[in-house]
Amino acid sequence: MIDFTRKLLELARATRDWAGAIADAGTERRERVARYADQIVGTLARAIAAFECLEKEPGDKTAARIAIKELARLTGYVESLVAVLEGRIDGRRVHALKRRLEGLACEGLIVQSIRRADTTRIERLSAAEGYFRALADELRA
């Protein structure tokens, strides 16, 4: 079973790679994608903070609840992002994104990743945050 944070990082890289295809979309659509990317960045930042607490104190129930809530929230944001992208990027790419999204929706992966909060998972979340931040910035440039 692949770790949730690894799946999220792969999804972030794929989404960031499509910035060029999204860039030729209308201004309104680009801004919508950029707003979703901003929401994802904020969600990832809160998840990272919770993971950092869990790395120091694995039994911190409040941090665990925050991490679960934030990682679960990502699925909704990514689903909304996919809806905005449909018709703007190649259908195979959208299908691949949906497949990756389905892999993220597994609650067991989220809980397992939280139980094993460590530097590697924090770095993956940070990298994913960077990819989504870059996407938002590029679409607004």
For 56-87, what is each residue's pLDDT tens digit?
A: 999 999 999 999 999 989 888 888 877 777 76
Average pLDDT, integer, range 33-51: 94
Cα 75 to chain centroid distance, Å, stands at 8
User: Could you tell me the end-to-end alpha-carbon distance of the chain, in angstroms, rounded to an integer?
Assistant: 38
The predicted structure's pLDDT at residue 43: 95
Q: Residue 78: exposed, middle, or buried by beta-carbon count in 10 A (0-12, 13-18, 19+)?
A: buried
Cα 138 to chain centroid distance, Å, stands at 17
pLDDT tens for 8-33 read: 998 888 888 877 777 777 788 888 88
Q: Please, what is the average pLDDT of the chain?
A: 87
Cα(131)–Cα(49) distance, rounded to whole angstroms?
18
Token reading at 99:
């497949």
Q: Is the Cβ–Cβ distance between 113 and 71 less than 8 Å?
A: yes
Cα(40)–Cα(72) distance, rounded to whole angstroms?
11
Q: How far lies 49's CA from each of 44, 54, 66, 121, in Å?
A: 9, 9, 9, 12
